[in-house]
Amino acid sequence: MLRVLFGILGSAASLATAADEVARYDDWSERELALIQSLSLESLGPLPPDPSNAYADDPDAAALGERIFFDPRFSANGKVSCSTCHRPDYGFSDPNARSVGIGVTERRSMPIVGMAYQTWFAWDGGNDSLWSQSLEPFENPVEHGFSRIQVAQTIAQHYGEDYQEVFGPLPAPDKLEATVVGPNGDNAHEIAAWKDLSASSQQQIVGVFVNIGKALAAYLRRLQPERSAFDHYAEALRGGPKGDLNTLTASQKAGLRLFLNQGSCVNCHNGPLFTNGEFHSVGLLRIDAPDQGRATVIDTLPANEFGFFSIWSDADPSIDGSHLKYMDRRPSRFRVSFKTPSLRGVATRPPYMHAGQFSSLSEVLSHYRAFSGTALADENFHADLSAKGALQIEAFLQSLDPIVEP
């Protein structure tokens, strides 16, 4: 109660809006300046290599991947493409709380910009490479509801020439005539039919499927975050030519200060993508449908058919994959933990959290204020945020929207 009272008094005291007060907003400590620059796009660096994907930087693979990304023929009803839930006009996410493909999924679609800089994919990090993540929705019955053999058939039918230019020959047509669905079929009959195929037939079909994942990843890794007002401001602070201290309002600068200090937002939302790519519990336990997030995939990750160290990966286990080698393998550390999402462009793509629990940023911030410091999520310290402080953080988050370059 006292904290609330002091928060209100503190807010009242800081209501003055004199020009010198605005200038004071640009006065940052060495620590704050270092954090601001580490959040700016300038520190993103060139595209890191993806040793698990030999086609990652092949422009023809990327062009093929882009066409497949937007093609609804790769779905059970011919209506669902990757772009159904990852809409370019919606920050590569969609407005649904839980995304809708063939059916309704359990979680919200994640924005997929800047994925080249990530090591774990999806809310639970159930995939350890971008190409592996790109494959999963095809065979998920509520997403594309498709199968690996149907993917290979659709490629042969519509993309045969382009595919072969990048990846070499497709399997002989008779290998793709089978009516089996694949190892993840809906019933015992389908699974048995897949098992009846020769090992070489299976390998050839899976080989095409994997290549499509790698083509999609080659496209997706080129989706880079765009410059925001915040980046202009960060550039001004380091004296760069495109910088402008006035691109942020006084309220946004106050929000940035809270973001870096009392709000502790920067603990998890750090680096130029405003995410540490790690997994945290933020008190979103649902009693009706407990989703344990990261904890449920810790044990299954090493057995992932399309894992970073699988036979389908191009990685060299002796030198690559430190994210997998040194990961903390104790599920108890990751109960109800979900991946920190990027905050770039966050204001224009509601709803929020892994199952769209909140429809606005102010609801998200209210949630953080409410449970902060409780046993619900002891990792979170957003305490002492006043209502005004939450508004300022919200204003700051709006400065992370892409801007049109003059």
List residues near other proteins by CB under 8 A. 30-31, 33-35, 38, 266-268, 270-271, 276-279, 322-323, 325-329, 333, 375, 378-379, 381
Half-sphere exposure of 332 (CA within 13 A, CB side): 0
- Tell me how far apart the alpha carbons of residues 147 and 133 are, in angstroms, rounded to a whole number: 15
Q: Which is nearer to other proteins, 222 or 323 (CB)?
A: 323
Residue 206's region, left for phi above 0, alpha for psi from -120 to 50, else beta, is alpha
CB of 37 to other proteins, least distance (A): 8
Q: Which is nearer to other proteins, 272 or 351 (CB)?
A: 272
Q: Which is nearer to other proteins, 159 or 368 (CB)?
A: 368
Q: Which is nearer to other proteins, 261 or 357 (CB)?
A: 261
DSSP state of 90: G
Q: Which is nearer to other proteins, 326 or 406 (CB)?
A: 326
CB of 295 to other proteins, least distance (A): 13
Q: With contact defined as beta carbons under 8 Å apart, do 128 and 119 qualify?
A: yes
Q: Which is nearer to other proteins, 93 or 337 (CB)?
A: 337
Q: With contact defined as beta carbons under 8 Å apart, do 120 and 114 qualify?
A: no
CA dihedral of residues 392, 393, 394, 399 (deg, nearest 10):
100
Q: With contact defined as beta carbons under 8 Å apart, do 358 and 386 qualify?
A: no
Q: With contact defined as beta carbons under 8 Å apart, do 108 and 355 qualify?
A: yes
CB of 294 to other proteins, least distance (A): 10
Q: Nearest CA to 274 among 33, 32, 41, 86?
A: 41
Mutual angle of helices 199-220 and 130-139, in 10-degree steps: 120
CA 32 to chain centre: 26
DSSP string, 66-86: HHHHT-TTSSTTS---HHHHS
Q: Which is nearer to other proteins, 68 or 266 (CB)?
A: 266
> How deeply is 363 buried, as exposed, middle or buried, from its count of CB atoms within 10 A (0-12, 13-18, 19+)?
middle
CB of 113 to other proteins, least distance (A): 18
Q: Which is nearer to other proteins, 139 or 235 (CB)?
A: 235
CB of 188 to other proteins, least distance (A): 40
CB of 314 to other proteins, least distance (A): 20
CA 260 to chain centre: 22
CB of 330 to other proteins, least distance (A): 8
- Cis amide leading into 351 (omega within 30): yes
Q: Which is nearer to other proteins, 142 or 383 (CB)?
A: 383
CB of 257 to other proteins, least distance (A): 15
CB of 325 to other proteins, least distance (A): 7
